[in-house]
A and B are shown apart, each in its own frame.
Chain A
Amino acid sequence: MGLIIIAVFYGSILFCVVASLAKLLKFAKAPLHLRWELYRGSSVYELTDWWTRPHVTSLAKMKSAALDILFLRDFYHRNRGFWYFLYLFHVGLYLLILWHLWLFICAMTIHVDAAPVWGLLWGHVATVLALIGGVGIFIKRMTDEELRAYYTPIHYVKWLFVILTLVEAFYAVQIYFDASMPAVMKYVRQQVAFEDLEMKFHPHMATAAHVLFASAWLIYLPFSHILRLFFRYYHQVRWDDVPNVRGSAVERKVEKLLSQRVGWSAPHIPHGRKWADFSSEQEQGAEE
């Protein structure tokens, strides 16, 4: 049993890393697309000779993305009723991610007996916030007619799983580890550093369940919305895109793409023609 849990856990980490990288690579290697961006306000196109003016910097884009992700601004402004629970859930989730990072770092760098008591409070507050948010979202998704639309049964199962994971994590820390931060930290240290193989191969149900829940979420992560959110901001898709300036890298990519053949088959699209062949000279030549 212990061996299976170990295999699932480390396998899920490997899967998460490989699948996420594959997904990221797939999008990063996507061909340059036509521009289809949106604007949140005034742009460089309001200026005469806009092509000589500086464009939006990556820093400005990143700042905007950070504010969106931290505060879920669009939900706040456009869908306030949903935002309350969603925000509680996300704040809880962000705090839990940070808590785990802190836990791993502290477990490896300080003596376990020096584990601060506030660490426990941090973990519990984060879990409770995420739990309130998760239960709230689940109930709203069940009862609100708008939020129910097109939300398929599999998604409700996902939220139940979220709630179960959080409840189990709370149980493990509060009951199994007896609300002791040094005990939690000792366990993490032993696991990370492979100090207690006996426990690794014969885990208690509370920690085993937590590891299995974590594994399930690691497997799910590459298919979640998190990676897509990344591309929405950093791959020039949603907000003002990069103009094609003469002699630029963008122009070189454009030229390469225009040399591809058009693969569509409607009657007005001549078979085998390249995109670059749509200049009037070449079209007339082809007709003759």
Chain B
Amino acid sequence: MSMTKSDWQSITLSAVLLAVAACLPLTGDAYMLSIGITIAMYAVLATSWALFSGPTHYISLATAAFFGLGTYTTAIGIENGLNYWVTLPIAAILGAVLAALVGLATLRLSGVYFVIFTLGLAELVRQVVTWGQNVSGQKGLYVLTDITEVHIYWQLLVLAAIVYLTGWAIGRSRLGFALRIIGDDEEVARHSGINTSRAKILLFMVSGATAAVVGSMLAPRYIYIEPALAFTPMLSFLVVIMALLGGTGRLWGPLVGVIPFTLLWEAISASFPNQTTLLLGLSFLVIVYLLPRGFVGLIESGKRKMREREAFA
């Protein structure tokens, strides 16, 4: 891999932005920090979701399954005397394994069948956990640690950096190229000798492992972990909406959706606490009718128009 000048520029810019974001806790404003955590959490989830779903156009609603898996890994790990930091890689591995199993079973499905299966997956994992609790007689788990919101925020930022680097590396690799071809036409990809299942499963594993680690990192914040809270389907939907709102065509696309959506969600929650569901529905409509390619599409067509105007001038 050789690096061009513009690669270095974007990496430097990203590093600077990340460093600025990392300074948020220094303002000492705990309210801003709690919004910052939400943004960082959804940024990581939406970006890792888009790594897989962006190029392949497979809409996955399984985020909650991986997230919950990570949450439970940390909760059970800590209860059995494991160090918190050890539970993060375990969650990543479990998330990747689950994604691989699911991928092997389902990525031959496409379109709506895949969507429905992934939605069912979160419910399946949740029922399995509940069944485990019923058999063992253990209910909600407590994650009592000394980890504060600042720590969680910084951890999420580090994870975000890793996700962006991974996404960038994949985009430049043969795997990324293969995925783009799959997204355009899976038949063609297969005829060109691409092992489409392998490519899709690999990406799905990256996405699943990331969501699991996010769940692990959030466990100390929730303290009390029970299936209904850890596997909430709402999480999967929010991630998809934010990612599509931003646009999945670019690595930075989901972030452009996450930030305005989270701030708007916060403003609505604060001013019209009874209307959050309405906002969700409206966002869906906006994406479908006005922004099929998200904010990314909007920005890029704006750029193109500017260029055209310059050409005429």
A binds B: no
What is the interface of chain B, defined by CB distance below 8 A to chain A?
none
